[in-house]
Amino acid sequence: MISHYDVIIIGAGAAGLMCAMTAGQRGRKVLVIERANKIGKKILMSGGGRCNFTNLNIEANHYISHNPHFCKSALSQYTQWNFIKLVEDHGIAYHEKEMEGGEPGQLFCNDSAKQIVEMLSSECDKAKVKIITKCEIKNVSQDNNNLFQLICNNKKYSSESLVISSGGLSIPTLGGSDIGYRIAKQFGLNSYELRASLVPLIFTDCLKTLCSDLSGLSIIATVSTANKSFTGNLLFTHRGLSGPSILQLSNYWQIGESIDIDLSPNIDLAKYLNEFKLQSPKSALRTSLSKILPKQLVSQLEFLYWHELKDTKFADIRNKRLDGIASQLHRWTIKPAGSEGYRTAEVTLGGIDTDGISSKTMQAKTQRALFFIGEVLDVTGHLGGYNFQWAWSSGFVAGKAV
């Protein structure tokens, strides 16, 4: 016995659920198949449990893709304002998070990310969408009538349209899988190289000890690669560096590349240190730096870079040396050994080449009625609600077309 549907969607994450409710509202008979024991697991874990569900400033320049124009059509067909209205219609209270130096416009639930999953689930119920959990799709095929055929838990399913919303590789325990890339290949679509992103960076040299000793400490810093800079919170962890500024940078950082950190982006340190020397010639360098940077960080940097000045009075440090220290603190160049990888990465960078996909509907150009949405595509957002907005927008346009 084969159960037939108009549309089958693989993956009940953000994109799949949005696509399902949109198609269901159009009267399509929809089945969503999810391998986890419950739907929307990443939504539940997102934004520290409060889900940063969109951003007030959604624009294409917040997305990384080999085709930077691809995301524009979907983002304009279903905007942040459409999603905000849905959230408001469901009575979910939300707020914009104020963050010093961080990404502006981030919207979070006041109470819980669970409300977003409940909202999507109730919209799916209303639209008579059927959802099956604990059912892993291993492969798909097509019969002679061009219907898609799937088998899971020993049951056979078929559909006219098939939507792949299986996400990327990040956090396997929350659903990360490669099925979407395999199905893309099966139907003649290319994929770009995949990489863990929005992810902490790690160190293996003496900086690992420094980071570990400072673990839990956070400062405002500007972090840069050769062509991208972000200002915001930087967090020292047991293995390296994290926090919003580092996560943002990880979208751009290449393995083997050094990063520059401005530890004092708001204060001109050369000026500050020279003035301090004039006013307090008998005090130590450490004393002046500890007024603008955490004391533990100053001690660690002193140990690594100017240990010989530990007991020297300010008056005895030459201005040139002070200027050198100031510029090192404004441009602390360090080389991460790698990233924490898919175990903790919020997203997968790269993915299915959008050249093979219609930007208006997300339908594959090589295969009628096959759609790819969300993170599985080569579209990755900055930190700040951009990835969920991509999932909502791409899910919506496919839901209108399936």
Which residues bind to ligand FAD, rule: CB under 6 A?
A: 10-16, 33-36, 41-42, 45-47, 51-52, 136-137, 165-167, 170-171, 174-175, 177, 179, 346-347, 374-375, 385-388, 391
CA 333 to chain centroid, in Å, comes to 25
Of 391 and 401, nearer to ligand FAD (C-beta) is 391
Of 171 and 298, nearer to ligand FAD (C-beta) is 171
Beta carbon of residue 54, minimum distance to ligand FAD (angstroms, whole number): 7
Q: Which residue is nearest to ligand FAD (CB)?
A: 13
- Residues 82, 42, 349: CA angle, nearest 5 degrees: 85
Task: For residue 108, give the nearest of 43, 47, 45, 44 by alpha carbon.
Answer: 47
Of 36 and 298, nearer to ligand FAD (C-beta) is 36
- Residues 328, 331, 337: CA angle, nearest 5 degrees: 105
Beta carbon of residue 51, minimum distance to ligand FAD (angstroms, whole number): 6
CA distances (Å), origin 75, targets 69, 205, 390:
11, 43, 7
Torsion sign (Cα): 7, 156, 169, 107: positive
Of 250 and 300, nearer to ligand FAD (C-beta) is 250
Beta carbon of residue 259, minimum distance to ligand FAD (angstroms, whole number): 22
Beta carbon of residue 159, minimum distance to ligand FAD (angstroms, whole number): 14
Beta carbon of residue 179, minimum distance to ligand FAD (angstroms, whole number): 4
Of 222 and 389, nearer to ligand FAD (C-beta) is 389
Q: Which two tokens stand for residue 397?
A: 């346009």
Of 55 and 264, nearer to ligand FAD (C-beta) is 55
What count of other Cβ atoms lies within 10 Å of the Cβ of residue 38? 13
Q: Which two tokens stand for residue 227?
A: 């062509």
Beta carbon of residue 316, minimum distance to ligand FAD (angstroms, whole number): 50
Cβ pair 372, 352 in contact under 8 A:
yes
